[in-house]
Amino acid sequence: MTDLAVLAVGFGVIPLASILLLSFRDWIAAHRPAVWGAAAGIIAFLGLSHAMGFVLAGKPFLFGGESEAATVLFLLTGLGLGGSLGWFVFEGPFPGPEPSRIVWAIAAFLALHSFGDGLVLGRGFVGGVGPILQLDAVNVSATVVHRLVEGAVLLIPTMAAGWRHRSSFLILLLSLSSIPAAYLPGFFFDWRGLVDGSATTQSVSTFLAAMEASLALAVLARGFLAGLVTDRSSRWLPFVLIGFIAISVVHFLVE
C-alpha cells in the first residue's frame, strides 16, 4: 500500500500550503465582497451540488436497494446530524464569538469533506491488481488546486476573526482527516470481503455526504450570506457565480 500512502499523505497536506494566503490579509480585507462571495460560491458547489449529487447517486445502492424506508431514514439521519452540528455551532451553546463560530463551522465542513475525499481515494486501491485512478498532469494539477481552495475557504474567516498564524495553521490540520479515511476501504475489504466491504464504504461515504450537505447549507446561509446581504450593494453576487463556476471547472478536470 506504499502508493496509497504517498497519495494519501500528499492529498492530506496540500491544504496546509494555503497558509501562504495570510500574506494577503490586507488585500482580502479590502475586497471583502469579492472574496467572501467567491468563497460562498465554492461552498455552494462543494457542499450542496457535489455532496447532494453524491448522495443521490449512492442512494440506489444503500441496503442493497431492497429497503426504501431504511434508505430514506438513513439519509435523513445524516442530513439531521449535519444540520444539528451547524445549529450547535451557530446558535447553540458553542463557546466563542460570532466570527470564530464561522471558522469552526467551516472547519467541521472541511474535516467532513476531506474524510469523504479520502474514502474515495482509498476505494481506488481495493479489489484490483492495481490502483484504479486516473493520474495525469491535468488531473493532478486540478486536485492540487481543489485542495488549496478548500484550505483557503477556511482561512478567509480566520482572518476576519483575527486569528493568529499559528492558530490558523493548526485548524488547517483537520484536512489531514483524509489520510486515515483513505485506509478505511481496505479495512472494510479485509473485514467483510470485496462485495460487502465495498457496500460498507459506499454507505459510509453517502452518509457523510448527507451530513456535509446540510452542514454546508447552515454555513452558507448563516456564515456567508447573512453577512453579505447586509451590504448596501450586491457587488458580491457576481463573485458567488464566479466561485461556483470556477470550482465546477476544477471538478470537471478531476472527475
Question: What does each of the 255 residues of the chain score in pLDDT, given as a tens digit?
Answer: 458 888 889 889 999 999 999 999 999 999 988 999 999 999 999 999 999 999 999 999 898 888 899 999 999 999 999 999 999 999 888 777 778 899 999 999 999 999 999 998 888 787 654 555 667 788 889 899 999 999 999 999 999 999 999 999 999 999 999 999 999 998 888 888 888 888 899 999 999 999 999 999 999 999 888 777 766 667 888 999 999 999 999 999 887
Which cell numbers hold the place of 112?
Answer: 467532513
Helix (H) or strand (E) holding 120: helix 98-123
* Structural domain of 175: 2-254
pTM of the model: 0.90
All residues at 6 or more sequence positions from 67 whose CB lies less than 8 Å from its CB, including other chains: none
Domain count, the chain: 1
Task: Region of 130 please: left (phi>0), alpha (psi -120 to 50) or beta.
Answer: beta
pLDDT tens for each residue of 36-94 = 999 999 999 999 999 999 999 999 989 888 889 999 999 999 999 999 999 999 988 87
Q: For a pLDDT cut of 70, what percent of the chain falls above it?
A: 94
pLDDT at 104: 94
Please give the single-letter amino acid code of residue 25.
R
How many angstroms separate the CA atoms of 113 and 128, rounded? 25
